C-alpha cells in the first residue's frame, strides 16, 4: 500500500492506526504537505524515514538524573525536586503537562506557571478531584485560579473500582522531557517530604506518557474538568 501517493490522494495515513495521537500527527503532516504540491511522495517518504531513524537514535540515548526531596546524606548527591520542577517549567517552549494526586499551589510554582502563560506555553493539568474521589480533600480548580490551563479529571464512572485514586505524579515538558516522581505538586512534597524521582531527557518516554494521557482523554476515560 502506498501511503504517500500525493497531497490529494486517497490513501490517508491518519486512518491506518486508530490512535488519536498518531492521527493528529499524520494530519499535521498531510496538511503541511498540501502546501507544497511539488514534493513527491517518494521525497516525503524518505524524509519520514530519516526522521524515524533520528527518533530511534534519540530513544536509545536518553539521559537520566536522580531528583530528591527531604533529608540529605553524604552518599547521595542529587538535585532537589522543587529546583528541578521550576527549571523545567522555565524551559518549556510549547507545552507543560502536569499529572498529580494533590495540587496545592505555592508562590514559586504559581509564578513560574504564570510566566509560562505569558510565553503562551500550553498548560494541561490532570489532578485528583473531590467530585471523583470523595475521600480526597484538595481543590485543583481553586489551585489553578487565575492561571490559563486545560484541567482534566478521571471521572468516578470511569474508575475500575470504588476507591481507585489518580496517584501518578508526572511532569512532561514539550513532549520530550519527563519528571517521574513520588512527589505531589505541593510545597511540602517538593521540599520537606522524603521523595525520589527520575528526570528523563530525550528518548521516547516523555512522548509515550503524553500520548497515553491524550489517548485516555480521546477515549473518554479522562475528561475536561
Nearest-angstrom CA–CA distance, 57 and 118: 34
Nearest-angstrom CA–CA distance, 203 and 208: 10
Residue-level pLDDT at 10: 45
Among the ranges given (4-13, 28-37, 124-133, 148-157), the one the predictor scored with the smallest mean pLDDT: 4-13
Residue-level pLDDT at 37: 84
> Cell 497531497 maps to which residue?
7
Quick one: which of 98, 100, 67 has its CA closest to 191? 67
> How crowded is residue 137: how many other Cβ atoms within 10 Å of its Cβ?
9
pLDDT band at 61, cuts 50/70/90? Answer: low
| pLDDT reading at 223 higher than 80 | yes
| Domain map (residue ranges) of the chain | 13-59, 63-224
Q: Select the more confidently predicted residue: 27 or 145.
A: 145
pLDDT in tens, 171-212: 999 999 999 999 999 999 988 999 999 999 999 999 999 999
pLDDT in tens, 115-128: 999 999 999 999 99
| Residues contacting 12, CB < 8 A, separation 6+ | 26, 30
pLDDT band at 43, cuts 50/70/90? Answer: confident
> How crowded is residue 26: how many other Cβ atoms within 10 Å of its Cβ?
18
Nearest-angstrom CA–CA distance, 120 and 117: 5
Mean pLDDT estimate for the chain: 88
> How crowded is residue 59: how many other Cβ atoms within 10 Å of its Cβ?
14
106 is written with which cell numbers? 505555592
CATH number of 63-224: 3.30.870.10
| pLDDT reading at 84 higher than 90 | yes
Nearest-angstrom CA–CA distance, 94 and 197: 23
Q: Select the more confidently predicted residue: 214 or 42.
A: 214
What's the pTM value of the predicted model, to 2 decimals?
0.74
What's the rounded mean pLDDT across residues 152-179?
96
**Under the phi-then-psi rule, with left for phi > 0, alpha for psi from -120 to 50, and beta for the rest, what region is 141?**
alpha
Amino acid at each position: 500500500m502506498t501511503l504517500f501517493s500525493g497531497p490529494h490522494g486517497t490513501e490517508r495515513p491518519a486512518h491506518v492506526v486508530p490512535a488519536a495521537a498518531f492521527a493528529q500527527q499524520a494530519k499535521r503532516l498531510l496538511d503541511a504537505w498540501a502546501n507544497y504540491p511539488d514534493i513527491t511522495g517518494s521525497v516525503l517518504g524518505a524524509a519520514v524515514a530519516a526522521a524515524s531513524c533520528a527518533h530511534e537514535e534519540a530513544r536509545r540515548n536518553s539521559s537520566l538524573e536522580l531528583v530528591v526531596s527531604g533529608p540529605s546524606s553524604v552518599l547521595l548527591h542529587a538535585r532537589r525536586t522543587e529546583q528541578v520542577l521550576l527549571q523545567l517549567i522555565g524551559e518549556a517552549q510549547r507545552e507543560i503537562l502536569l499529572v498529580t494526586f494533590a495540587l496545592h499551589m505555592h508562590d514559586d510554582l504559581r509564578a513560574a506557571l504564570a510566566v509560562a502563560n505569558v510565553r503562551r506555553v500550553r498548560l494541561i493539568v490532570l489532578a485528583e478531584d473531590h467530585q471523583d474521589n470523595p475521600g480526597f480533600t484538595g481543590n485543583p480548580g481553586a489551585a489553578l485560579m487565575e492561571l490559563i490551563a486545560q484541567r482534566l479529571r478521571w471521572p468516578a464512572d470511569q474508575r475500575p473500582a470504588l476507591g481507585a485514586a489518580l496517584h501518578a505524579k508526572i511532569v512532561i515538558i514539550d513532549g520530550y522531557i519527563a519528571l517521574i516522581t513520588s512527589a505531589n505538586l505541593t510545597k511540602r512534597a517538593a521540599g520537606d517530604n522524603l521523595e525520589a524521582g527520575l528526570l528523563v531527557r530525550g528518548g521516547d518516554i516523555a512522548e509515550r506518557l503524553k500520548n497515553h494521557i491524550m489517548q485516555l482523554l480521546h477515549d473518554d476515560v479522562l475528561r475536561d474538568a
